Amino acid sequence: MPISVVTGGAGFLGSHLSDRLIAEGHSVICIDNLLTGSVKNIEHLSVNKNFTFIKHDVTKYLEVKGEVNFIWHFASPASPIDYLKLPIQTLKVGSLGTHNALGLAKAKNARFLLASTSEVYGDPEAHPQPEEYWGNVNPVGPRGVYDEAKRFAEAMTMAYHRYHGVQTRIVRIFNTYGERMRIEDGRAIPAFISQALCGEDVTVFGDGSQTRSVCYVSDLIDGIYRLMMSDYVMPMNIGNPEELTMLQLAQEIISLTNSKSKIVFKELPIDDPKIRQPDIAKSKKILEWEPNVSRKDGLEKTVNYFKTNI
């Protein structure tokens, strides 16, 4: 039975990844300090003999007894509301946390996957964004703590691959949504859904013309699993290339929830990307992966989850 360590395993993505790994026959060791994760996300796994939860901050020395085959490094605040509130922790988990997780991979001769982000592209001047694009990031802006933490983490991962021969994978995750997102997450979809369900004004930043490409969580996890099991070592985009404006997304969610909410516009945050769309040619060719859950189906599932959790 393969043994997988998932850092940030009690978070939105980490918990869904843990589900997939258990289903694939892995024994899972979930490590999380619960800064933004929640035991509620993994409660259903606690009864499984192949699942272990360890409360630990990966920026501190990381030790796991026994054999480890795979390390999935997902620990990090991931929404603007979190990393603006926790800037130092975000930088530390991207640097010290990645260093510790890579050190564990080296010690255990385990394969390592870094959960990176489309934010490494910043406010892109290339559209859609291919993996070869180096990005347009403001390192001293408020979002720089997350963007640069992930860019550093990618550089560290490649250094361990080239210098120490560690088997590494890097996934650049584009906007993802689904069950277990926090209501107060601060990202567009949970904010729009919770506002619409509560009959509050739905807040759109700027004029709503900025675009995103949103991927349902099960599609994303499938792509990430395939990447880990592949032989591809360079960064790979995983996301849904179907682009839409934030105004369109808000309107779709209001319609889906049968809400009477009105849309109100607020000032655009500093360095907020105007466009975001993954070029997934590599994932299609190398992983034979592309998303298959429609936005309508994915949003319906997410809305139903929020209905029972608000």
CATH classification number, 3-177+217-239+279-287, choose in 3.40.50.1000, 2.40.160.150, 3.30.465.10, 3.40.50.720: 3.40.50.720
Q: What is the mean pLDDT of residues 203-221?
A: 95
Band of pLDDT at residue 309, cut at 50, 70 and 90: confident
Please state, in angstroms and rounded to a whole number, the distance separating the CA atoms of residues 155 and 81.
25
146 as an active site residue: the answer is: yes
Looking at 121, 146, 177, 216, which residue is catalytic? 146
Instruction: Write down the pLDDT at residue 11.
Output: 98
Whether 174 contacts 238, CB under 8 Å: yes
Q: What is the C-alpha to C-alpha distance for residues 224 and 172, in angstroms, rounded to an integer?
A: 9
Domain ranges of the chain: 3-177+217-239+279-287, 188-211+243-278+293-307
Prediction pTM value: 0.97
Give ∠ CA 278-233-272 in degrees, rounded to 5.
30
pLDDT, tens digit (0-9, with 9 covering 90-100), for 23-75: 999 999 999 999 999 999 999 999 999 999 999 999 999 999 999 999 999 99
- Smallest Cα–Cα separation from 173: which of 249, 120, 226? 120
| Whether the domain at 3-177+217-239+279-287 and the domain at 188-211+243-278+293-307 fall into the same CATH topology | no
Architecture of domain 188-211+243-278+293-307 in CATH?
Alpha-Beta Complex (3.90)
Region 275-297 average pLDDT: 97
Q: State the pLDDT confidence band at 162, using cuts at 50, 70 and 90.
A: very high
How does pLDDT run across 126-140, given as a tens digit for each residue?
999 999 999 999 999
Burial of 141 (0-12, 13-18, 19+ CB in 10 A): middle
